[in-house]
Structure 1
Amino acid sequence: MADGVSPNLDHVLVIGGCGFLIVQALRKHPPCPTYSVANRSPTRNLIVGIRYHANNISK
């Protein structure tokens, strides 16, 4: 943002790759109450407290 202030986010959705690295990086910055990850098969590298949703956006 132009003024250097980050917006307050209520919910962040990460799509693909189980979002592992992205969610870890996001959690290091000002907290967001809810993180969700949409992935074909969310079974590996799961982070406690994150909502995972199985789906395939290519269909």
Structure 2
Amino acid sequence: MEETHINLKRFLQDNSIDEINSNLLIDLLEHEVQHHGQLIRYAYANKIDFPKSWNFRYTV
């Protein structure tokens, strides 16, 4: 997520993007966030322990 944020921010600062490209980027970011949420919900529902890296990255 952090890498995506950096790339998205860098891309949005580029003055050559148009409205279609910026909307696509927002859609892709929302899609990625949704999948992360699905993984977290799956782990909670199945009582699967989170890797330590997840506790740092996602505050689970």
Higher relative contact order (CA 8 A, sep 6+): 1
**Bigger Rg, structure 1 or 2:** 2
* Structure ranking higher in helix proportion: 2
TM more than 0.5: no
Q: Scaled by the length of structure 1, what TM-score is found? A: 0.31
* Structure ranking higher in strand proportion: 1
